[in-house]
C-alpha cells in the first residue's frame, strides 16, 4: 500500500528519546519552552477574554479533549515520578497540573456564560449533567485512542492536543461574526505552540520525521496563522 512508504514502526523508541534528549538537552528544552509559552498564552489569554466578554474562548470539543488528556496525565503522578526514569516527563506533570486547572476555569465559563449558546433551553443543573456526560464520553474516546497506540511518554497524545488546539477558532469567530472571546495575544500563542512543539518532536526521534508528520506540522502551523488572519478580518466585539 502507498501508506507503507511512510510507516516505520508502531511508535517512537522511548530509549532513543531519552538518549537524544540528553544529547540535545539545550535545543529540546528551548523548543519545549517555546511551545509551553505559546500554550500558556493560549489559555491565559482565553480565560481573560472569556471573563471580559462573558463567553468561552476555547472551543468545547477542544476543552473536553484537553481536560481528558491533562487530568489522566496528572492523576498518574506515581507512574511518572516512580516508574519512569525520565526527568522531562516529570517536569511535564507540573505544567499539565496548571493546564488542568485552566481547563476547569474554561469549563466554568462555558456553563456560566455560554449555556444558552451550547445548551439552549437548559438550566444550570441540566447543562452541568450534559457537560459531565460529554466529558465522560471524551474520557472514553481518549482511553480508546491510547489503547491503540504505544505512547510511553504521551508524545503522540501531546500531538493530538496541539493539532486540535487551533482547529475550531476560525469557525467560532465566523459564527460570532466578531472578535468576541478572542485577542491577538491569545491567537499569537498558537504560533509558538505549534512551532516549538513540532521542533521538539522532530528533534526527539526519527519516528516523528516521517513525511506524514511534516504534513501534519505544516497544516497545524498554517491553521494557527490562518486564525490570526481571520481575527484581523473580524470586527471588534461591542457588548450590547
Domain boundaries, the chain: 2-233
Residue with cell 465559563: 109
CA nearest to 135, candidates 46, 69, 47: 69
70-90 pLDDT, tens per residue? Answer: 999 999 999 999 999 899 999
**Cα angle value 95/96/99 (rounded, 5°):** 100
Average pLDDT of the chain?
A: 94
pLDDT band at 3 (very low <50, low <70, confident <90, very high): very low
- pLDDT surpasses 70 at 116: yes
- pLDDT surpasses 50 at 2: no
How many CB atoms lie under 10 A from the CB of residue 24? 15
Average confidence (pLDDT) over 98-123: 96
Average confidence (pLDDT) over 17-36: 96
DSSP the chain: -GGGGG--SSS--HHHHHHHHHHTHHHHHHHHHHHHHHHHHHHHHHHHHHHHHTS--S-HHHHHHHHHHHHHHHHTHHIIIII---HHHHHHHHHHHHHHHHHHHHHHHHHHHSHHHHSTT--HHHHHHHHHHHHHHHHHHHHHHHHTS--TTSHHHHHHHHHHTTTTHHHHHHHHTS-TT--HHHHHTHHHHHHHHHHHHHHH-GGGGSHHHHHHHHHHHHHHHHHHHHHHHSPPP---
pTM of the model: 0.93
Amino acid at each position: 500500500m502507498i501508506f507503507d512508504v511512510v510507516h516505520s514502526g508502531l511508535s517512537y523508541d522511548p530509549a532513543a528519546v531519552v538518549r537524544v534528549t540528553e544529547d540535545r538537552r539545550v535545543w529540546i528544552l528551548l523548543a519545549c519552552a517555546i511551545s509551553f509559552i505559546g500554550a500558556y498564552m493560549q489559555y491565559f489569554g482565553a480565560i481573560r477574554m472569556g471573563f471580559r466578554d462573558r463567553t468561552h474562548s476555547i472551543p468545547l470539543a477542544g476543552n473536553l479533549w484537553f481536560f481528558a488528556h491533562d487530568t489522566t496525565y496528572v492523576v498518574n503522578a506515581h507512574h511518572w515520578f516512580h516508574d519512569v526514569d525520565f526527568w522531562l516527563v516529570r517536569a511535564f506533570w507540573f505544567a499539565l497540573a496548571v493546564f488542568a486547572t485552566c481547563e476547569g476555569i474554561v469549563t466554568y465559563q462555558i456553563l456560566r456564560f455560554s449555556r444558552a449558546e451550547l445548551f439552549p433551553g437548559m438550566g444550570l443543573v441540566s447543562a452541568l449533567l450534559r457537560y459531565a456526560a460529554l466529558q465522560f464520553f471524551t474520557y472514553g474516546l481518549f482511553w480508546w485512542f491510547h489503547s491503540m497506540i504505544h505512547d510511553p511518554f504521551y508524545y503522540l497524545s501531546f500531538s493530538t492536543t496541539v493539532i486540535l488546539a487551533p482547529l475550531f477558532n476560525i469557525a467560532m469567530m465566523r459564527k460570532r461574526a466578531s472578535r468576541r472571546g478572542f485577542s491577538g495575544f491569545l491567537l499569537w500563542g498558537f504560533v509558538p505552540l505549534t512551532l516549538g512543539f513540532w521542533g521538539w518532536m522532530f528533534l526527539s526521534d526519527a519516528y516523528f520525521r516521517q513525511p506524514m508528520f511534516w504534513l501534519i506540522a505544516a497544516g497545524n502551523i498554517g491553521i494557527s496563522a490562518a486564525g490570526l488572519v481571520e481575527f484581523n478580518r473580524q470586527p471588534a466585539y461591542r457588548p450590547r
